[in-house]
Structure 1
Amino acid sequence: MSITMHTGPNSPQAAVSFPARLLTLCYGGLAYLIFLGTFLYAIGFVAQFVVPKNINTGSSHPLMTALLTNLVLMSIFAVQHSGMARRGFKRMFARFASPAIERSTYVLLASLSLILLFWQWQPIPAVAWQIDDPVLAAIATAGGALGWLIVLYSTFLISHFELFGLTQVVSHYAGRVVEPMKFKTPGLYRLIRHPIYLGFIIAFWSTPMMTYGHLLFAAVTTAYIFVGIYLEECDLIAMFGSEYRRYREKVAMLVPGIF
């Protein structure tokens, strides 16, 4: 599913002072750059590639300490990510700050909560399973890369720069109004309703060696994805009504033709 917002001329925001509009633009640009760095680090963190600290490295801690710490870190992200995405929070935010920076603020805080998770994550290095065959191991590694590509590609299908707040702050800077959201289903969204979530699931589970720390991360984030889908679809039904219900009846959630 794709929700898009389009800009048009003659916005009341044009009356906002130039320094205020410039500050909004810089804020949105900084939030996007922080997101981009966090996203790239997330790939290395899960795939155990390049980054200085990944999902299986770091100081050793007792099992219960590591388990509880990691659950708290993932809960912080889940509460922030889902709570700020709700329509009620967006209405409350608009009372205190410009709606132009709402998405950028959401993206910034989500990135910071992930940075906290990367920084404080405590590995549980015991191996749950391992693929020894080099061909199968390579396929698993390639599957992880495919998952991240699906995530990135899907964001561009639904307007990448709008999804991460840049369109809103650029429009505000230029004095253009953001028009009401429109519903459309481009590309992968004609096959499944949530290709971004599918990409994350593939990326998190595709690995030639699954430690218990990685297993915890993959299992909890997958459970959170299903909760997120439920909450998101409640909002979409409230926003688009029968149009989204018809779409949900025709298009699978994550796997074409299955569910």
Structure 2
Amino acid sequence: MVSSTIILVFCLVAFAAIHSFMASLPFKRRLVRVLGSKADTLYMPVFSIIAVITISPLVYLLIKNPGPILYIIPSPWRWLMVGVQLIAALVAPRAILDAPHRFKIRSQLSAPKTPEAGPLNIRGIYRWVRDPFLFTGLIIIWFTPFMTVNLLVIYILSTIYLYLGSLHWETRLVTQFGDEYREYQKRVHRIIPHSGAYR
């Protein structure tokens, strides 16, 4: 069981390393130099495909070697938890739809307060929570209605990775949008949805 856990952790670390490298600014600068104006169009589809490919071994091994069962939530509560997971999965894509400018490579690489950087333009789900990816990701993870030893290890490490990734992402946003984003940080929580929409 220990060996299967180690292999799973290795798969997660490998996925995280590839994911972080492809999300890094040096990689994106290189991509822009090679692909030019096509970089923004091709980046997200290719990034998503590679993410699916690199996470697949981890998912497969978790299914094959889940480890001892820690708990299973009984009905009807398990279906309530699954329903919450499905809602979170449906909400997650809004993060891209409500702020497409945040994910454009040229905007990320540009200097703050330039036309290329674009406006912060808080709208949609971002009026309620600063990092909807982290928010929905944690819900999908921790509302799983059963838990095994290996799953718990992967979930804890994934939570740490997601949170550190969120911190790193926001340092970029502060660089990109400056004081406007700092003011936004004061008024809207990173994970916990804001009681009143940001205006």
For normalisation by structure 2, the TM-score amounts to 0.78
Task: Name the counterpart of 2:52.
Answer: 111
- Cα distance in structure 2, aligned partners of 1:137 and 1:118: 21
- Aligned residue for 2:93, secondary structure, equals helix
- Cα distance in structure 2, aligned partners of 1:164 and 1:231: 17
Letter in 2 for 1:123: N
- Cα distance in structure 1, aligned partners of 2:103 and 2:182: 23
Task: Answer yes or no: is the 8 Å Cα contact 2:88–2:140 preserved in 1.
Answer: yes
Pairing 1:189–2:118 present: no
- Cα distance in structure 1, aligned partners of 2:55 and 2:168: 21
CA RMSD, 1 decimal: 2.6
Task: Name the counterpart of 1:53.
Answer: none
Letter in 1 for 2:126: Y
Pairing 1:131–2:67 present: no
Task: Name the counterpart of 2:34.
Answer: 96
Residue 113 of structure 1 deviates from its aligned partner by: 1.1
Task: Answer yes or no: is the 8 Å Cα contact 1:201–1:218 preserved in 2.
Answer: no
Going from structure 1 to structure 2, the CA distance change for 1:126 and 1:106 (only over 3 Å counts) comes to: same
Task: Answer yes or no: is the 8 Å Cα contact 2:4–2:65 preserved in 1.
Answer: yes
- Cα distance in structure 1, aligned partners of 2:5 and 2:45: 31
- Cα distance in structure 1, aligned partners of 2:194 and 2:97: 24
Letter in 1 for 2:116: P
Going from structure 1 to structure 2, the CA distance change for 1:125 and 1:64 (only over 3 Å counts) comes to: closer
- Cα distance in structure 2, aligned partners of 1:197 and 1:227: 10
Pairing 1:180–2:116 present: yes
Task: Name the counterpart of 1:200.
Answer: 137
Task: Name the counterpart of 1:222.
Answer: 159
Q: Within 5 A, what are the aligned runs for 1:7-156?
A: 63-98=1-36, 99-100=39-40, 101-121=42-62, 122-132=64-74, 134-156=75-97
- Cα distance in structure 2, aligned partners of 1:152 and 1:197: 12
- Aligned residue for 2:92, secondary structure, equals helix
Letter in 1 for 2:168: L
Give structure 2 stretches of 5+ with no counterpart. 106-114
Kindly, what percent of the aligned residue pairs are identical?
22
- Cα distance in structure 2, aligned partners of 1:249 and 1:238: 16
Going from structure 1 to structure 2, the CA distance change for 1:164 and 1:200 (only over 3 Å counts) comes to: farther
Q: Whose RCO is larger (CA < 8 A, sep 6+)?
A: 1
Task: Answer yes or no: is the 8 Å Cα contact 2:94–2:125 preserved in 1.
Answer: no
Going from structure 1 to structure 2, the CA distance change for 1:225 and 1:105 (only over 3 Å counts) comes to: same
- Cα distance in structure 1, aligned partners of 2:32 and 2:94: 30
Task: Answer yes or no: is the 8 Å Cα contact 2:99–2:123 preserved in 1.
Answer: yes
Residue 75 of structure 1 deviates from its aligned partner by: 1.1
- Aligned residue for 1:252, secondary structure, equals coil
Alignment length (residue pairs): 181
- Cα distance in structure 2, aligned partners of 1:163 and 1:119: 30
Alignment equivalent of 1:246, drawn from 183, 193, 197: 183
For normalisation by structure 1, the TM-score amounts to 0.62
Letter in 2 for 1:180: E
- Aligned residue for 2:23, secondary structure, equals coil
